[in-house]
Amino acid sequence: MADCAEKGPAAACENDDWSSEVLSPSELFAARTRDHKLPARGQKDFLPDGTQRQSEKLRRGLEEHWKLVSEERVERQGSLVKAEWKPKDNVVVLKCPAGKFWQTMGYSEQGKQFLQSEEALYLMECGNVEVFYRELPLSVQEGYELMLSNRTISLQQYQVFSHLKRLGYIVNRFDASAVPSLYERQLNLVQRRDKADRHHRKRKRSRSPSRSKDTPEGQSQTGENTEQKAHEDAMSSREESQNSGSSTCMIPSERAAACSMEVKQEGTSEERSCWWDSPLVPQSEQAQDRQPHSPQRSGLKWDFSRISFPNLGLDCPLTSLQAPDPGLLPSAVPARACDVSAWLQKLNLREERLSRREREQQDRERQYKRGVNEDREVRSCRNWQDYKELLQRRSRQSCRKWPAHLWNEAVKPLTAPGQATSTGDLLQQIGMMQPSRLLDEAAGLVEDSGGMRISFDVYQADTVAEFKKSNPGKPYSRMCVCSFDGPVPDLRTLKRLAFQSGDVPVTYAVVDNGDISFYSFKDFQLPTDCCH
Amino acid sequence: MELETEADGKHEAEMQTETIMEMEREVKTHTEGESVERDPESDTRTGEVKRERETEPVRVCVSGSAPLLWRSADLRLVRERMGIVGTLVGSLARQPRQNCRLGRPLQLLLEEARLLKDTGRAVLVKGAESECDDDRVNVEVEESYTKHLQHSYQEQGRLALEEKKRVLERVMTERLRDEALTDQPIRERLSSLKSSFSFPHSAMMVQLCTARARLGYAPDERDWLAADWPLPRDNKQEVRYRVYQDLRQQGYYITSAGKFGGDYLIYPGDPLRFHAHFIAVCVPIKSESPISDFLCLARLGANVKKTILLCSPSETESEGVIYTSIQWSGMV
């Protein structure tokens, strides 16, 4: 510090205020060779004992402390970026080209480079930027007073911001509208938005799992491609409606064709009739002459009694399948017969070889366990409905044997033997409380005006090299700044903020007179015995 | 400031050799409004300046609801005279990109600011909201700033030139000693130095002031009235303030203890050299708390190896504050 009145030639504006901290030119010049290391602090003592040694240590410690604290920032004029504070917009506009900090901070608009107020203040404190206001440079104190207000960000938010920046994180302001919604995330639209330009033209192969590997798909004409793609989209997103009428009617039949593994050739049919001929393809525009083999047609109903699916099991010697009716396939997809013997060979039809222990276990079980397929009553059921009725009948019968002292009282058991079909079902019946997740019923919560809100997005420090301001990606965490004076966030606030943040965890930065502590709430489920 | 450092150092050493009771007496006398000069060895001039400095109140700038101190002299004054520690919350000028040691501003507790104000050592100020349309450039101030910059540039240029000359002369004398080499090219460079030397503007060193420099505009700082105190004064604040006052008068150093689950951390000496002994929790004298709260505090204290101090100011001012300490002694 300089006592300006003492030193040599003082300019007219040098004041005689003894408390001024302005450095003289000689001091500025000498500051080029300043030490940049921080002195290490020694061990503390337990109790003051009034000895000279202790007081000497304290004195030296304090001197060193004041020396560090009173040091002023001195920078080369050429390495400073000049900027100007615009109070109307609460932003700082750069007058010189930005330096290295531009990689992670600031934004461009109409050809000019801007910095947010907290970013500018942080860079001022680091000595990278010199901000002017009304043609005069701002001191850090004035920066705090002008740039931190309730129109920009508060002092506590700035303390959290600078704390994280000093650790190396990339911190941006939170923008609620930029959070992808749950739906978008489910559809993976977030990634698609980035790569949309690069990939959508190249997609030839469909992603549909039901596509037969035998169906030739090499022949790609654009019309067919779009149809295929449209088909894909309809199957996956269910939001795009088919535009061509013929493709509408082809969907069910195409699905049916896809479900089977066969392609049969028209005309060269074997003895067995094609299963798709007998049914009744539900359409009206389908040309009658395209299906010469289908004699019966009655309306828009599938007659399953007349559909016989090809049996490719062990008991059937069929090894070749006919080509399907080309009328059932999209246009320009040729149909051909195929030989499934190769596929049959891949089936593992070997006898299961049990170890001795497994055989013994099986023998033991055979004594008391009855396979459900051997049950006569079960075999007489014709469909699922019958089977369920059988189960219910059986459980009702067993009801009559229940002990009276349990079931005739005011307090009954929660479940009866045989009432649950699985362990999971049983646990569900006897469960008193349902597990809840943090995001249950969080969608409808409305933000109150004075409530906590998310202030910043934080990105990790090691991503600086690939960080792009235009597309920052998913943040590492989102910060909500509060203080120990304020209330502890209640469940409602936790739910609201967790929902607002999407799939990014929210961290609560609690500021207590300059000290910052970080808390976060982890949502996890208690383990259950089995999945249900 | 450098002139006073020496005297301060001696004064400081003097104070430390005395007991803490001595320091307490000193604080008490200040509180009573006397300005006692306890430094008989310094000459009258420094004594005068010191007296001036002691009586001039420190400006505490309030940002939001946080009182801040910006000038190093003020930081030093409140620590050495009043035992007020505060927390540094800004970036350190020497190494701004680290979190271990921070720099100015110093953030004070509300109680610290209130103590300063009540004892007359400080005034609370708040920068006025800048009016957006007041973008006028004060030509006079701007001109004086430009002149200051120009003067600095010239001085630094001159100093750079001198340094370069010194370097060349030193090289020359070294060469003279080593008689094999001739010093002719050096001489030529020396003589042409003045004409060939250039000191670009970009090489000039510029200061980025921390505290408000007089070179800039001084926005209308209005002195605060009592009504402008940042937070409403409720019972909780009164309790805290009375506890703070009492502990400070007894000579303990106090900082904030939010991270420890209490109100204050109490140090037997300057926090620079000593660890905290107590965690003070302010409890109103008539309040009721479940025993589980005390158990939590006791557990906390045991974990961090500090004694929990429950502080309750008594109803009447004269009776002081009642302290209860909790220490986990284990079960037998």
Percent of chain B with pLDDT over 70: 72
8 A C-beta contact, residue A26 and residue B159: yes
What pLDDT score was predicted for residue B89? 95
Strand pairing class (A129-133; A81-86): parallel
**Interchain CB distance below 8 Å, A47 and B268:** yes
Q: H helices then E strands: how many in chain A?
A: 16, 14
Q: Do B147 and A11 touch (CB under 8 A)?
A: yes
- Range with the lowest mean pLDDT among A36-40, B113-117, B273-277? A36-40
Whether residue B183 contacts residue B158, with contact meaning beta carbons closer than 8 Å, is answered with no
What residue spans of A111-211 are helical by DSSP H?
117-126, 140-147, 155-167, 182-186, 189-199
pLDDT at B137: 74
Helix, coil or strand: residue B167 = helix
Average pLDDT, whole number, for chain B?
78
Residue A405's pLDDT is 83
Per-residue pLDDT tens digits for A10-26: 333 333 343 467 888 88
User: What's residue A407's pLDDT?
Assistant: 80
Distance CA A478, CA A502 (A): 10
ipTM above 0.85, yes or no: no
pLDDT of residue A121: 95
A274: confidence class by pLDDT, cuts 50, 70, 90: low
B306 is catalytic: yes
Q: Give the N- to C-terminal CA distance of chain B in Å, as an integer.
A: 60
Q: At A115, list the tokens.
A: 């910095």
- Tell whether A135 is within 8 A of chain B (Cβ): yes
Q: Which amino acid is at A444?
A: G
Q: A514–B89: do the CB atoms touch at under 8 Å?
A: yes
Q: Nearest-CA residue of chain A relative to B70?
A: A141
B277 is catalytic: no
Residue B37: pLDDT band (50, 70, 90) is very low
Round to whole Å and give the CA distance between A289 and B279.
Answer: 94
Average pLDDT (B169-184) is: 76
Q: What is the mean pLDDT of residues A348-375?
A: 81
Q: How many residues does chain B have?
A: 332
Say if residue B151's pLDDT is above 70: yes
B285 vs B314: CA distance, rounded Å: 6
The active-site residue, picked from B148, B267, B277, B286, is: B267
Residues of B in contact with A163 (CB under 8 A): 99
Mean of pLDDT values over B95-115: 92
- Tokens standing for residue B193: 């130095």
Chain B closest-CA separation from residue A123 CA (Å): 10
pLDDT in tens, A69-86: 999 999 999 999 999 999
Judging contacts by C-beta atoms under 8 Å, the chain B residues touching residue A517 are 258-259
Top-ranked range on mean pLDDT: pick from A53-57, A251-255, A274-278, B42-46: A53-57
Q: How confident is the model at residue B228, as a pLDDT?
A: 61
**B9–A148: do the CB atoms touch at under 8 Å?**
no
Q: Which residues contact A246 (CB under 8 A, 6 or more apart)?
A: A285
Q: Distance between alpha carbon A463 and the CA centroid of its chain, in Å?
A: 18
Q: Say yes or no for a CB contact (<8 Å) between A74 and B205.
A: yes
State CA B141 to chain mean position distance: 29
Note whether A66 contacts B109, CB cutoff 8 Å. no
Provide, rounded to the nearest whole percent, the portion of chain A with pLDDT above 90: 24
Distance from CA of B29 to the nearest CA of A (A): 22
In degrees and rounded to multiples of 5, residue B112 shows phi and psi of -65, -45
Range with lowest mean pLDDT among A113-127, A158-172, B34-48, B93-107: B34-48
Among the partner residues A14, A130, A141, nearest to B211 by beta-carbon distance: A141
Burial class (CB in 10 A: 0-12, 13-18, 19+), A364: exposed
- B154 to chain A: nearest residue by CA? A25
Decide if B130 and A146 are in contact by the 8 Å CB cutoff: yes
Strand order from edge to edge, sheet including A129-133: A107-109, A112-116, A91-94, A81-86, A129-133, A136-137
Q: What is the pLDDT of residue B216?
A: 53
Cβ A21–B213 below 8 Å, yes or no?
yes
Contacts of B125 in chain A (CB under 8 A): none
Q: Comparing C-alpha atoms, which of A508, A527, A529 is closest to residue A518? A: A508
Residues in B touching A168 (Cβ below 8 Å): 97
Asked if A483 and A156 touch (Cβ cutoff 8 Å), the reply is yes
Is B142 within 8 Å of A135 (Cβ atoms)? yes
Q: What is residue A518's predicted lDDT score, i.e. its pLDDT?
A: 94
Residues counted in chain A: 532
Alpha-carbon distance of B325 to B327, in angstroms, equals 7
* Cα–Cα distance for residue pair A397/A377, rounded to 1 Å: 15
Listing DSSP states for A320-358 in one string gives EEPPPPGGGSPTT-----EE-HHHHHHS--PPP---HHH
Q: From chain B, pick out residues whose CB is under 8 angstroms from the CB of A12.
A: 144, 147
Q: In this structure, what is the dihedral angle of CA atoms A212, A213, A219, A221, given to the nearest 10 degrees?
A: 50
Average pLDDT over residues B213-235: 61
Q: How confident is the model at residue B218 (pLDDT cuts 50, 70, 90)?
A: low
Q: What is the pTM of this model?
A: 0.68
Stretch 5-44 of chain A: residues touching chain B, C-beta under 8 Å: 6, 11-15, 17-23, 25-26, 28-29, 31-32, 34-36, 38, 44
pLDDT value for A280 = 47
Give the chain B residue nearest A165 (alpha carbons).
B97
pLDDT tens column, A296-316: 444 556 777 777 677 777 677
Q: Which of A2, A21, A125 sits opposite B72 (nearest CB)?
A: A21
**Does an H or E element contain A35, and which?**
none
Is the CB of residue A459 less than 8 Å from the CB of residue A475?
yes
Choosing from B117, B153, B306, B323, which is the catalytic residue? Answer: B306
Q: One of B30, B275, B305, B323 is an active-site residue; which one?
A: B275
CB contact under 8 A, B270 and A72: no
pLDDT computed for residue A16 by the predictor: 35
pLDDT of residue A74: 92
Structural Rg of chain B based on CA atoms: 28
DSSP 8-state symbol, A86: E
Confidence of residue A327 (pLDDT cuts 50, 70, 90): confident
Q: How confident is the model at residue A529 (pLDDT cuts 50, 70, 90)?
A: low
pLDDT at B229: 67
Read off the tokens for A176.
């609620």
Q: State the average pLDDT over residues A342-350.
A: 76
pLDDT in tens, A452-503: 889 999 999 877 778 888 888 889 999 999 988 888 888 888 888 988 888 8
pLDDT of A437 > 70? The answer is yes
Cα angle: A469, vertex A470, A476; to 5 degrees: 55
Residue B83 has pLDDT above 70, yes or no: yes
Task: Please check whether residue B36 is in contact with residue B29, taking contact to mean a CB–CB distance below 8 angstroms.
Answer: yes
The reported pLDDT for the residue numbered A206 is 46
- Highest-scoring range by mean pLDDT, A194-208, A364-378, B43-57, B207-221: A364-378
Neighbours of A142 (CB within 10 A): 26
Could you tell me the pLDDT band of residue B217, with boundaries at 50, 70 and 90?
A: low
Tens of pLDDT, residue by residue over A219-263, are: 333 434 444 444 444 444 343 333 333 333 444 444 444 444 443
- Which of A163-177, A250-264, A348-362 shows the highest mean pLDDT? A163-177
| Partner-chain contact A76 B205, CB within 8 Å | yes
